[in-house]
């Protein structure tokens, strides 16, 4: 198992409010995209991943099932961020997305809150593994707009679910089988607001290794405007 990671502030933002977490011991690979003023987004995303990593390691060591451990650990992270925001007026209302992949043997568990994403690249095909919790995704599901219209929609950044906003949180959980050579891309929307899946696939396919893949993806996102922070993990199973 090999991986590469990158996090870039982009060309417009004053702060990088994205965070990432890689824990080979537990098989956790996660990204988070924070939101809120006064550095609150940075606080929310980094805290969420710290709590997630700690709680997941503890639960797995205690014999918990991977899928239950992942969901419950994300909920613990939600509770921690929510309670911290309530104690600090400057951070009131802060929140973050979380896309967390837990690899256990050939099983890949994905916990999802928000609009960061995970993709599987296998046999020359890219497949999105997660569903955005966003207004435009709801419009797509209801047949109101197409995927192409969603890509350029002016309200594409409006979330319907985020970690830290409310005390209770629903976490989407996905389970997949992976085999050696499969690639998993976990990324914040600083990438996907500019690059469609087929463009991601082409860039990765034409790159010599994992690190070059991420550098080339970053370069393309920046060339398209780079208006947001861009964070990615590329994992080779």
In a domain, 170, yes or no: yes
In a domain, 24, yes or no: yes
Query: How does residue 129 score in pLDDT terms, banded at 50, 70 and 90?
Result: very high
Number of neighbouring beta carbons within 10 Å of residue 32: 31
Q: How far apart are CA 22 and CA 120, in angstroms?
A: 18
pLDDT value at position 149?
84
The whole-number average pLDDT for the span 209-228 is 97
The parent domain of residue 165 ranges over 2-117+161-195
Q: How far apart are CA 164 and CA 142, in angstroms?
A: 27
Query: How does residue 143 score in pLDDT terms, banded at 50, 70 and 90?
Result: confident
What are the b/e assignments for 44-55, b being 16+ CB within 10 Å? bbbbbbebbbeb
Number of domains in the chain: 1
Q: What is the pTM of this model?
A: 0.97
**Strand, helix or coil for residue 20:** strand
Which of 47-51, 142-146, 230-234 is predicted least confidently? 142-146
In a domain, 46, yes or no: yes
Angle between helices 66-87 and 40-61 (to 10 degrees): 140
Residue 35 has pLDDT above 80, yes or no: yes
- Work out the mean pLDDT of the chain and round it to a whole number: 96
The whole-number average pLDDT for the span 126-147 is 91
CATH of the domain at 93: 3.60.40.10
In a domain, 148, yes or no: no
In a domain, 25, yes or no: yes
**Strand, helix or coil for residue 206:** coil
Query: How does residue 144 score in pLDDT terms, banded at 50, 70 and 90?
Result: confident
Instruction: Tell me the pLDDT tens digit for each residue of 50-66.
Output: 999 999 999 999 999 99
Q: Which residues contact 19 (CB under 8 A, 6 or more apart)?
A: 7, 31, 32, 34, 42, 45, 46, 48, 49, 96, 231
Residue 41 has pLDDT above 90, yes or no: yes
In a domain, 103, yes or no: yes
């Amino acid at each position: 198992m090999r991986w590469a990671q990158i996090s870039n502030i982009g060309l417009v933002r004053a702060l990088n409010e994205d965070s990432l977490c890689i824990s080979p011991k537990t098989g956790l690979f996660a990204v988070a995209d924070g939101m809120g003023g006064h550095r609150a987004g940075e606080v929310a995303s980094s805290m969420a991943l710290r709590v997630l990593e700690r709680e997941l390691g503890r639960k797995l060591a205690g014999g918990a099932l991977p899928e239950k451990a992942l969901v419950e650990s994300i909920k613990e992270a939600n509770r921690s961020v929510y309670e911290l925001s309530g104690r600090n007026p400057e951070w009131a209302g802060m929140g973050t997305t979380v896309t967390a992949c837990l690899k256990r043997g050939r099983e890949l568990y994905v916990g999802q809150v928000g609009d960061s994403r995970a993709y599987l690249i296998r046999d020359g095909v890219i497949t999105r593994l997660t569903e955005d919790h966003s207004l435009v995704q709801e419009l797509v599901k209801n047949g109101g707009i197409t995927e192409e219209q969603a890509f350029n929609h002016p309200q594409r950044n409006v979330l319907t679910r985020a970690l830290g906003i409310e005390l209770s949180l629903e976490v989407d959980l996905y389970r997949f089988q992976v085999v050696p050579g499969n690639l998993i891309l976990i990324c914040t929307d600083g990438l996907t607001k500019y690059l469609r899946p087929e463009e991601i696939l082409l860039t990765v396919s034409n790159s010599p290794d994992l690190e070059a893949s991420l550098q080339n993806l970053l370069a393309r996102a920046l060339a398209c405007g780079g208006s947001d922070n861009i964070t990615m993990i590329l994992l080779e199973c």
